[in-house]
Each structure stands twice: as structure tokens, then as C-alpha cells.
Amino acid sequence: MSLLDMIGPVMIGPSSSHTAGACRIGLVSRFLLGHAPTEARIGLHASFAKTGRGHGTHLALVAGLLGFAPDDPRLPRAFEEAKAAGLAVTFEDVDLGDVHPNTARIDLSGGGSDVSVVASSTGGGVIHVGRVDGFKTDFSGGSPTLLLRYQDAVGMIARVSQLIAEDEVNIATLVCTRERRNGRAMLSIELDQRLSDHGIRKVSGLPEITWLRMLPKVMD
């Protein structure tokens, strides 16, 4: 048992799942967009929709989108901070099907790009990112994570894995999903450490790659 299991994460707010976890969902979504968002459409599922207001979920999600950590003292002022930053936010209740009750769908745009994220807060501040732009993923934000969207081709996973190995970084988990053979595909790869800038350039230089994000850890 770890100290986190006994006392929970360091955070602002009343609930590790509804506040700390929600903030990390927002933070990961911001990293996936790649820069500060200007518009966020947030769908809240089940428990997030029913009890989120009282637990600070709405504030925490917006705080994460602004780049705040769960223990940031600005979290209770997230709505005011969002207005000052030029971030427009709307909320709605949604049914996302057979997913964890503490799940949100976040559609972000800004800077000429957009991203859609479905992620859950599973307890103790831990999160699970289950979909990015409609593709199935499986990562927690507990490790540096490489996300790649690319055109499916023979040997693609082997080539990416080889470049990661050449950067002397070890793969912890790897999930690949694709729309169809030779269609669009996505890799989510949890790593023991962040790729070097040189390693990122090597991977992004593969001709099939159309989108890359190297995400930092958002929790210990």
C-alpha cells in the first residue's frame, strides 16, 4: 500500500475522483491539443453529471484545460481564469454508454486544430484515457506517453518501436487501433521516460505519421 492509497493525492477540492482526477483529465486534453484551447465543449456522463457541481468537477476540468495541476490554488477561480484567458467553455450532460460513471468527453479547439478526448476518473486521482479522436487508447498519464496518428502500413509498429529503442527508451504499454486496413490508425505508447527531442524528430519524420503528441506525466 502506498501513501496515496492511505491519504489520497495532494489537491484543491473535496474529492480525489471528482476533483483531482477531473483536473488531470483536463490537463491531458490540453496536452493532446498541443497548445492553449480557445473553446471547450465538455460532456459529463453519469456521476460526473449528477454530482459534479457539488464536488467541483466543472471547476477542476476547466482548471486542467488552463494547465493547472490539482493542487494549484487558482483552481477554485477556474471560471474567472478561463474568461481572462479567452477560453469559452460549455457543459452538457451526455450518455457515453458502458464506461466508468466518472467520465467526460472533451472537445477542444484552438490555434487551427482540434481534438476530442474521452477519459475517466477511476478513483484516488487516477485517470484512464479511453479514446482520442474516436480511436481507442489505453493510458493513465502516469508515464510519459507518445500518441501517433498515421496511415496504416506494413511494419509501421516495428519501425516506431525501433526508433524508440534507438533513443534508449523502453516501452511499457502499446495500444494500436485502426479504422480499417491501410486506413487511419493510432498508436498510444506509454514509455519509461520521455523521448529526446532527437527521438521525437526521428519518429515524426516517418512519412506515414500525420500527428504526434509527446505527453508528460500528469501524476506520480
The CATH number assigned to the domain holding 120 equals 3.30.1330.90
pLDDT of residue 14: 47
Single-letter amino acid, residue 101? P
pLDDT of residue 3: 28
Same domain, 103 and 188: no
Among residues 132, 118, 131, 25, the alpha carbon closest in space to that of 68 is found at 25
pLDDT over 50 at 34, yes or no:
yes
User: How many CB atoms within 10 Å of residue 77?
Assistant: 15
- The cell for 172 is 511499457
pLDDT over 50 at 147, yes or no:
yes
Q: Does 207 reside within a domain?
A: yes
pLDDT tens-digit map of 127-136: 999 999 999 9
Residue showing cell 477554485: 76
Among residues 80, 83, 103, 21, the alpha carbon closest in space to that of 56 is found at 21
Tell me the CA distances in angstroms from 28 to 50, 162, 165, one per residue in order: 23, 26, 25
Same domain, 111 and 196: no
Rg (CA), the chain: 17
Mean pLDDT for 82-89 is 98
Find the angle CA(102)-CA(94)-CA(98) to the nearest 5 degrees.
55
Percent of the chain's residues with pLDDT above 90:
89
pLDDT over 50 at 73, yes or no:
yes
pLDDT of residue 7: 30
pLDDT of residue 5: 35
pLDDT over 80 at 74, yes or no:
yes
Distance in angstroms (rounded) separating the CA atoms of residues 24 and 41: 17
Same domain, 14 and 123: yes
66, 85 contact by CB (below 8 A): yes
Structural domain that includes position 31: 3-133
Task: Determine how β-strand 145-151 pairs with β-strand 113-123.
Answer: unpaired
215, 28 contact by CB (below 8 A): yes
What is the CATH classification number for the domain harbouring 156?
A: 3.30.70.260
**Average pLDDT taken over every residue of the chain:** 92
Distance in angstroms (rounded) separating the CA atoms of residues 67 and 196: 22
Distance in angstroms (rounded) separating the CA atoms of residues 214 and 195: 8
Q: Which are the contacts of 53, defined by CB distance < 8 A and separation ≥ 6? A: none
Same domain, 149 and 126: no
Same domain, 65 and 159: no
Mean pLDDT for 199-217 is 98
pLDDT of residue 18: 77
pLDDT of residue 6: 27
pLDDT of residue 53: 87
pLDDT over 70 at 16, yes or no:
no
Mean pLDDT for 176-191 is 97
Count: domains in the chain: 2
Q: Does 140 reside within a domain?
A: no
pLDDT tens-digit map of 95-116: 999 999 999 999 999 999 999 9
pLDDT over 50 at 2, yes or no:
no
pLDDT of residue 15: 56
pLDDT of residue 4: 35
65, 57 contact by CB (below 8 A): no
Mean pLDDT for 2-21 is 54
Q: Does 102 reside within a domain?
A: yes
Single-letter amino acid, residue 109? S
